[in-house]
């Protein structure tokens, strides 16, 4: 890599663009709405695995400007239901091999993921998750304060805090990654395979004739197409409404923040549902932290003082030694919450209009698997077994996939 950089510098030539701009064609085989990691992954797998390259990805701002660039990059598969564990496990595996597949360092860092239990009820839930995980072949186990302290020396496992730590679900495969690199990697390879990525292209309407999608209206013109994938976050219900499809989703802001860089001291990911906090240390040394969604439905992406104050209080219960550390910046993203805390993927009552939505606070980690499996559905017309449990019709068939107990923090 240094040789490549040196050659490039000496050649005086600009590096090749990661992805290119194109004129908007008046027709595509597939139109994907949303230029985040999900939409770009789907475009990439359509082209790479199925040879479908007459594909447009429409992004109203710049790629990765939504949830893909606003999350805290945690990757894990320690879910509560067998359906959830199997699905996220495939995603973890795709993330593990991503740098090799792209020949581009996406900085995946396997850290180990600890979900702390502060009550007997939480210990029971962690035990159940560990057993479900193990039955699906996923490495997770219940551990106790002595081992927690060994894995994470700065954490307070004494009985001094208001909510002492009783145990934890330990999930060694859990990791973090550079989220921009994931977006750029998918964009670059989709572009090279012939996909058109259109930034600053906003969808203003979806044409439906006789219960079948026929096109998409944008601020740059009309596109004729028979297949539209709604891969948006924050505005997924607005887009679905344009096709006449109702989604059982409510949107909430989720805030996060980072501290100034510190010397490396935390090489595991720590999550506490009871204290509403999760934290990891990035490769730059910053502590990347978040909590649960704001307690009101809104499209606001403003940060609030209340969030930082609460988060700091809870962080200090776990790590009293951090009291002098300064918060550097904070931000918010939008989370589309479903009633069972699982996503919605697949077909809708409108033929040709598909959804990959409802990603709440768990979407980024699923980008590779949802992209791969939605591409398979689009290309073959058959719903893959792995995403069948997450179909829209489950809400009318009383067949929910309840994952609230595996959300990182209480909601
Ligand atoms: O589901 O791992 C997770 C998560 C981390 C931050 C928000 N959600």
Give the distance (Å) from ligand 1 centre to CA of residue 373. Answer: 21
Could you tell me the fold of the domain covering 250-337? D-Amino Acid Oxidase; Chain A, domain 2 (3.30.9)
Q: Token match 């710049």: residue?
A: 62
Is the pLDDT at 200 greater than 90? The verdict is yes
Is the pLDDT at 141 greater than 90? The verdict is yes
Residue 307 has what pLDDT?
96
> In this structure, are residues 252 and 294 in contact, taking their beta carbons and an 8 Å threshold?
yes
Is the model more confident about 3 or about 195? 195
Which CATH number is 113-172's, of 3.30.9.10, 3.10.330.20, 3.40.960.10, 3.30.420.10? 3.30.9.10
- Chain segment 71-90, per-residue pLDDT in tens: 999 999 999 999 999 999 99
Residue 2 has what pLDDT?
60
Give the distance (Å) from ligand 1 centre to CA of residue 73. Answer: 8
Is the pLDDT at 15 greater than 80? The verdict is no
**Domains 113-172 and 250-337 alike in fold:** yes
Pocket test for ligand 1, best of 71, 85, 92 (most atoms within 8 A of CB): 71
- Chain segment 149-184, per-residue pLDDT in tens: 999 999 999 999 999 999 999 999 999 999 999 999
- Chain segment 120-136, per-residue pLDDT in tens: 999 999 999 999 999 99
Measuring from atom 7 of ligand 1, which residue has the nearest CA?
A: 361
Can you tell me the distance from the alpha carbon of 170 to that of 141, in angstroms, rounded to the nearest whole number?
A: 5
Give the distance (Å) from ligand 1 centre to CA of residue 78. Answer: 11
Is the pLDDT at 235 greater than 60? The verdict is yes
Which of the four pLDDT bands, split at 50, 70 and 90, describes residue 42?
very high
pTM metric for this prediction: 0.96
Q: What is the mean pLDDT of residues 300-321?
A: 95
- Cα-only R_g, the chain: 21
Which of the four pLDDT bands, split at 50, 70 and 90, describes residue 1?
low
| pLDDT > 90: percent of the chain | 95
Give the distance (Å) from ligand 1 centre to CA of residue 12. Answer: 43
Ligand 1 pocket member 287 (CB < 6 A): no
Ligand 1 pocket member 44 (CB < 6 A): no
Residue 7 has what pLDDT?
78
Which CATH number is 22-72+179-247+340-407's, of 3.50.50.60, 3.20.20.20, 3.40.250.10, 3.30.465.10? 3.50.50.60
Is the pLDDT at 14 greater than 90? The verdict is no
> In this structure, are residues 334 and 67 in contact, taking their beta carbons and an 8 Å threshold?
yes
Residue 91 has what pLDDT?
98
HSE at residue 211, side-chain half, CA atoms within 13 A, is 4
3-state secondary structure the chain: CHHHHHHHHHHCCCCCCCCCCCCCCCECCEEEECCCHHHHHHHHHHHHHHCCCCEEEECCCCCCCCHHHCCCCCECCCCCCHHHHHHHHHHHHHHHCHHHHHCCCCCCEECCEEEEECCHHHHHHHHHHHHHHHHCCCCCEEECHHHHHHHCCCCCCCCCCCCCCCEEEEECCCEECCHHHHHHHHHHHHHHCCCEEECCCCEEEEEEECCEEEEEEECCEEEECCCEEECCCCCHHHHHHHCCCCCCCEEEEEEEEEECCCCCCCCCEEEECCCCEEEEECCCCCEEEECCCCCCCCCCCCCCHHHHHHHHHHHHHHCHHHCCCCEEEEEEEEEEECCCCCCEEEECCCECEEEEECCCCCCHHHHHHHHHHHHHHHHHCCCCCCCHHHCHHHHCCCCCCCCHHHCCCCC
Give the distance (Å) from ligand 1 centre to CA of residue 393. Answer: 25
Residue 9 has what pLDDT?
77
Mean pLDDT of the chain: 96
Domain ranges of the chain: 22-72+179-247+340-407, 113-172, 250-337
Ligand 1 pocket member 218 (CB < 6 A): no
Q: What is the mean pLDDT of residues 97-112?
A: 97
Measuring from atom 4 of ligand 1, which residue has the nearest CA?
A: 408
Residue 284 has what pLDDT?
95
Q: What is the mean pLDDT of residues 229-253?
A: 98
The number of the ligand 1 atom at minimal distance from the alpha carbon of 72 is 6
Pocket test for ligand 1, best of 257, 365, 366 (most atoms within 8 A of CB): 365
């Amino acid at each position: 890599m240094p040789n490549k950089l040196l050659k490039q510098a000496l050649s005086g030539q600009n590096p090749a663009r990661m992805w290119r701009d194109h004129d908007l064609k008046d027709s595509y085989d597939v139109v994907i709405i949303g230029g985040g990691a999900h939409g770009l992954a789907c475009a990439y797998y359509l082209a790479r695995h199925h040879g479908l390259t007459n594909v447009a990805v429409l992004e109203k701002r710049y790629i990765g400007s939504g949830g893909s660039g606003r999350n805290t990059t945690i990757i894990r598969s320690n879910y509560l239901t067998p359906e959830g564990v199997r699905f996220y496990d495939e995603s973890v595996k795709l993330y593990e091999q991503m740098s090799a597949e792209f020949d581009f360092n996406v900085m995946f860092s396997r850290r180990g993921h600890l979900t702390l239990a502060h009550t007997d009820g939480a210990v029971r839930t962690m035990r159940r998750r560990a057993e479900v995980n193990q039955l699906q072949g996923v490495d997770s186990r219940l551990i106790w304060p002595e081992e927690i302290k060994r894995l994470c020396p700065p954490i307070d496992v004494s009985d001094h805090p208001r909510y002492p730590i009783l145990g934890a679900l330990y999930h060694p495969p859990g990791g973090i990654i550079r989220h921009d690199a994931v977006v750029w990697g998918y964009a670059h390879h989709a572009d090279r395979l012939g996909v058109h990525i259109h930034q600053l292209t906003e969808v203003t309407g979806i044409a439906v004739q006789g219960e079948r999608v026929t096109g998409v209206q944008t601020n740059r013109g009309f596109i004729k197409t028979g297949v539209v994938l709604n891969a948006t976050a924050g505005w997924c219900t607005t887009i679905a409404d344009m096709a006449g499809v109702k989604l059982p989703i409510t949107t909430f802001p989720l805030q996060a923040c980072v501290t100034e860089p510190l010397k490396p001291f935390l090489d595991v990911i720590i999550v506490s549902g009871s204290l509403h906090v999760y934290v990891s240390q990035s490769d730059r040394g910053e502590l990347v932290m978040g909590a649960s969604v704001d307690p009101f439905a809104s499209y606001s992406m403003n940060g609030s003082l209340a969030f930082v104050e609460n988060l700091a209080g809870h962080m200090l219960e776990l790590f009293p030694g951090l009291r002098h550390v300064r918060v550097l910046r904070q931000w918010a993203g939008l989370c589309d919450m479903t009633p069972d805390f699982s996503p919605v993927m697949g077909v809708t009552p409108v033929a040709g209009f598909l959804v990959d939505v409802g990603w709440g606070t768990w979407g980024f980690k699923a980008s590779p698997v949802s992209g791969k499996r939605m591409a398979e559905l689009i290309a073959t017309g058959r719903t893959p077994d792995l995403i069948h449990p997450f179909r829209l019709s489950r809400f009318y068939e009383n067949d929910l996939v309840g994952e609230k107990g595996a959300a990182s923090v209480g909601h």
